[in-house]
């Protein structure tokens, strides 16, 4: 029994200094932080209205702006911004991403974005089933503390078969970093 008390006391004395230092005129503490890969974005254009301008049956166009923050791992990290149509145009009888009334009708977009982003190249076709690229990032990429800007410029086919009316769809942007 006495031996157990001695062992417990010895253990307590060993643990105590790790928790708190001794009282003295000064005391030091080691401050540590682990910085990991992170990414976040904000779509600054909450509603993008597509409009047809000029010659009749010109495609409907519009621009969605977003601000992103990103930090990728040194040497091995990567990052991306993608989008997906998570809710197709409604109501029915208008444009559709998943089932366009006429073959060739499509919601397409081009991308803008400065370094560290590499904006998507050429015209991309939006999809309800797959995420499509907006921008990519390499290893050790980092945005400004206030965030960097990027945008997608939309183009929607203006098919005469669309019934007149207002239609809306939801596009979800996703950013990731490793």
Indicate the residue among 12 and 56 with the shorter CB distance to other proteins: 12
Q: What is the C-alpha separation between 89 and 170, in angstroms, rounded?
A: 8
Q: Which residues pair with 39 in a beta bridge?
A: 70
Indicate the residue among 91 and 138 with the shorter CB distance to other proteins: 138
**Mask: binding to other proteins, 59-98, rule CB under 8 A, as x and -?**
----------xxxxxx--x---------------------
CA dihedral 135→172→177→111, nearest 10 degrees, is 10
Q: What is the C-alpha separation between 82 and 43, in angstroms, rounded?
A: 12
For the segment 120-149, give every residue that binds other proteins (CB under 8 A). Answer: 140, 142-145
Task: Say how many C-beta atoms besides its own lie within 10 A of residue 98's C-beta.
Answer: 11
Indicate the residue among 21 and 91 with the shorter CB distance to other proteins: 21
Q: What is the C-alpha separation between 103 and 61, in angstroms, rounded?
A: 19
Would you state the structure tokens that stand for residue 175, as one six-digit string?
A: 């950013």
Indicate the residue among 108 and 178 with the shorter CB distance to other proteins: 178
For the segment 36-65, give every residue that binds other proteins (CB under 8 A). Answer: 36-40
- Binds other proteins by CB under 8 A, chosen from 2, 4, 14, 26: 26
Q: In 91-131, which ranges are E strands? A: 107-113, 118-119, 124-125
CB of 56: closest distance to other proteins in angstroms? 45
Q: Which residues sit at the interface with other proteins, rule CB under 8 A?
A: 17-40, 69-74, 77, 140, 142-145
């Amino acid at each position: 029994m006495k031996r157990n008390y001695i062992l417990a006391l010895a253990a307590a004395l060993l643990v105590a200094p790790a928790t708190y230092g001794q009282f003295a005129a000064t005391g030091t503490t080691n401050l540590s932080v682990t910085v990991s890969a992170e990414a976040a974005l904000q779509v600054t254009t909450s509603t993008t209205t597509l409009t047809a301008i000029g010659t009749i049956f010109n495609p409907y166009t519009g621009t969605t702006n977003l601000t992103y923050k990103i930090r990728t791992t040194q040497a091995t990290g990567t990052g991306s911004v993608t989008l997906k149509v998570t809710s197709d145009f409604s109501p029915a009888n208008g444009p559709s991403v998943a089932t366009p009334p006429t073959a060739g009708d499509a919601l397409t977009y081009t991308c803008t974005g400065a370094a560290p982003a590499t904006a998507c190249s050429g015209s991309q076709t939006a999809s309800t089933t797959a995420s499509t690229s907006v921008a990519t990032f390499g290893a050790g990429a980092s945005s400004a503390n206030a965030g960097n800007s990027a945008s997608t410029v939309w183009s929607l086919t203006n098919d005469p078969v669309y019934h007149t009316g207002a239609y809306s769809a939801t596009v979800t942007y996703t950013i990731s970093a490793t």
